[in-house]
A and B are shown apart, each in its own frame.
Chain A
């Protein structure tokens, strides 16, 4: 079949991708700048075609707990929200991580803290990568920079979540949620049958049918010795994920004098800054982490070799810069440039920051 090329918003693309992946259920609550996810799902009415459930819950807390319940039965379930709404979901996310369940969570970040603004931000990096909820857990965190990646990461996110029985987050921002770009949608595939789910998820609480022993899904274990074992199992899984699933993109790193590290749509603004700098004879390379957890520590360290300095560009006051500094230790200057509260920097501002903070320091 001919590839279907469409023009759509990142948020709309998420909805189309979820249906085509064979997602079993979406549970959400509207909030700008990601309301088009739920809106598009309601418009496409997948319950009449694939049988996918789409439900506007009474709150974000209800939505994440519906995801918890759905995930426990082995279903491919997801939710989406924006920063303040994702804060409300954190308890549920911690439970899902502790219970080792696959789920997909989309955060289209907006300016904070608090209710903040509705314009783009990346200030939830710490929340997404360092915990967010309580306890020693990690989400697999994917950072899309194009509408096409919004589509692709729905499939990738679900695949990784099921492979490792671990929740996965797509950490997008208002730019990639609201902008329209060309996308190629994947071939639709049918939702898994009950039998297929039983085969793929022997741990699921989906009825014993007289056969196997009882599956218990819980995050509670009152015996500390047992809880420590569970924690060690989680940690072991995180080390495996770090080894296997670290993803990043490099642009013109070889031969560059300076490095910009940026994720999501800000990596593209930085890429334009790289083009402008190149016209002035300044050689800049870009490292764009695609997985924010696991962070591409070795890739950043490797790319930094022989460079004169690194500028970390983020829509926050300096969050990912901590991981960049840990990657390169003190081998070269690492500085931060960011705009806050929903303001988007222009490529020219990034070039000026590079000159001020790194080149002419």
Chain B
């Protein structure tokens, strides 16, 4: 098992924390993990991306050119990373604000409306967990939900643990958006 994933979007969308929760969930499931951010003079509204690799075996490069799964949360990220999905791989993107939709036919493409789904839950901060739900469903490797919850607990400071049920709800909502 090996999943090579990039999550890309605007700074402030929770891209890096989503990657961290995913990596921690993998760690709780006894996998090898790497989490490599695009770090830079970035800020809310700028671009941010994170490469997460989950594997049974020792991971070589934490930096990649091609991915099994690309999650793109804005037009810039979609344009940049859609061509870098491996043939047969998966592209998930949020349709909000997207005017040029992907046209590749050699990959599975899942447009999701994560923003509307998040508003339905009633807490816009849960956006990244809605997206993560969709991602979890798209992965060949099925991460047990109990380990995702453990991952959440590890990633969030203790004082935010009361928010875990909300995050869990958001993940379930996201899962319902994408039936792979």
Which residues of chain A have a CB within 8 Å of any CB of chain B? Answer: 5, 7, 32-33, 118-119, 174-175, 178-182, 265, 268-269, 271-275, 344, 346-349
Contacts and interface: CB of A to CB of B under 8 A. Distances in A.
A118 B37 CA distance: 13
Contact of B39 (A7, A178, A273, A347): A178
B27 A346 contact: no
Contacts of B45: none
A183 to B, nearest CB: 10
Contact of B61 (A118, A174, A271): A271
B3 to A, nearest CB: 15
Interface in B3-47: 20, 23-24, 27, 32-37, 39-41
Given A5-B27, A180-B20, A182-B27, A268 B61 contact: yes
B56 to A, nearest CB: 13
B33 A275 contact: no
A349 B64 CA distance: 10
A11 to B, nearest CB: 11
Nearest to A271: B60
B156 to A, nearest CB: 13
A272 B60 contact: yes
Contacts of A174: 39
Interface of B: 20, 23-24, 27, 32-37, 39-41, 59-66, 154
A347 B63 CA distance: 8
A181 B35 contact: yes
9 contacts: A118-B39, A175-B62, A180-B35, A181-B33, A265-B63, A269-B60, A272-B64, A273-B61, A347-B61
A174 B40 CA distance: 11
Given A5-B27, A118-B41, A180-B23, A346 B65 contact: yes
Chain A CB within 10 A, most for which of B20, B39, B66: B39
A177 to B, nearest CB: 9
Contact of A346 (B35, B41, B60, B63): B63
Given A5-B27, A7-B24, A7-B27, A179 B64 contact: no
Contacts of B65: 346-349
A269 B20 CA distance: 21
